[in-house]
Amino acid sequence: MSPARIRFLQRAVHLWLAGYLLSALPLAEWLWDHPVSPALPVPGPLAMLMDVFGTWLPGMLALPGAVVLLLFAVYGLWREQPVWMAFLTWMLFASLVHRAWLASSGGLLLMQNVLLWMVLMRARSSGPWSEGLSALGLWAVRLQLCLAYLITGLHKLTGTAWIEGTAVGLVASDPQYGPRLLASVPVGAALLTWAWLLFQFAFPVLVWWRRARNPLFIAGAAFHVCTAWWVGIPEMGLAFIACYAAWGPFSSGRGEERADGAAA
């Protein structure tokens, strides 16, 4: 288990978290103080815990909680968070997402799970148990990302637009999104539609081959940046890109070995 890789992932996630909070704080009144809909009930074993979040962080404390969460994220960029801070980071973020569920996206839900697994990760392990929990957390983040792509791809197959190759063209033709130029080239839009669909099924398989990772990450980052710009969901695309750090920061075996030795 590479300490450099764990720290790289921690910094990437905390950078995303800081950016998301800075963009969301001006909308705090509508997102968290007085949300359009009450907090969404969560089924399953976490329901009781999430219900506590809903009362533990009421509207009047949502903005201060977001500020504290921002400070935790900045600290995580500087130094590794202690376990208690990592747990509170997850709690506060989960509470904010829970309150503003109508404004949530797949990226926020992905990061809610990632922050929970990051509680287990320690770049500076204190023994075999710590190393084992760190490995569990890192592999859980990797599998979470793979499942996110796979399940999303399978969901696309239930409709017709992605199979027929018209999905990207339909979005591009909408005046609210774009780019309109792409809508005027239906062949190009169709190729992009099928290429992204193929990517979502290929990622969970090819990402485990070292030589395939960089092309996968470049293709995924390009698509997510485009959706962030034209579709207007930057927090979602950047969340997926931040999770690529679970395989970083090096792509060659020799580089990883040097990083492990330097981190130790």
91-101: pLDDT as tens digits? 889 888 877 77
Is residue 124 within 8 A of residue 3, CB to CB? The reply is yes
| DSSP code of residue 57 | S
Look at residue 251 in the predicted model and tell me its pLDDT: 47
Q: How far is CA 173 from the centre of its chain?
A: 28
Look at residue 75 in the predicted model and tell me its pLDDT: 96
pLDDT in tens, 176-218: 777 877 778 889 889 999 999 999 999 999 999 999 999 999 9
Domain regions of the chain by residue span:
3-156+207-263
pLDDT in tens, 16-65: 999 999 988 887 777 776 665 555 555 455 555 555 544 455 555 778 88
H/E element, 11: helix 3-24
Look at residue 261 in the predicted model and tell me its pLDDT: 38
Phi/psi region, residue 232 (left: phi>0; alpha: psi -120 to 50; beta: rest), is: left
User: Mean of the per-residue pLDDT values for the chain?
Assistant: 83
CA of 47: how far to CAs of 42, 98, 185, in Å?
A: 5, 11, 48
3-state helix, strand, coil in the chain (%, to 5): 80, 0, 20
pTM for the whole structure: 0.83
Of 262, 195, 251, nearest in space to 226 by CA: 195
CA gap 3, 125 in Å, rounded: 8
Percent of the chain surpassing pLDDT 70: 83
* pLDDT greater than 50 at residue 107: yes
Is residue 246 within 8 A of residue 1, CB to CB? The reply is no
CA gap 185, 177 in Å, rounded: 16
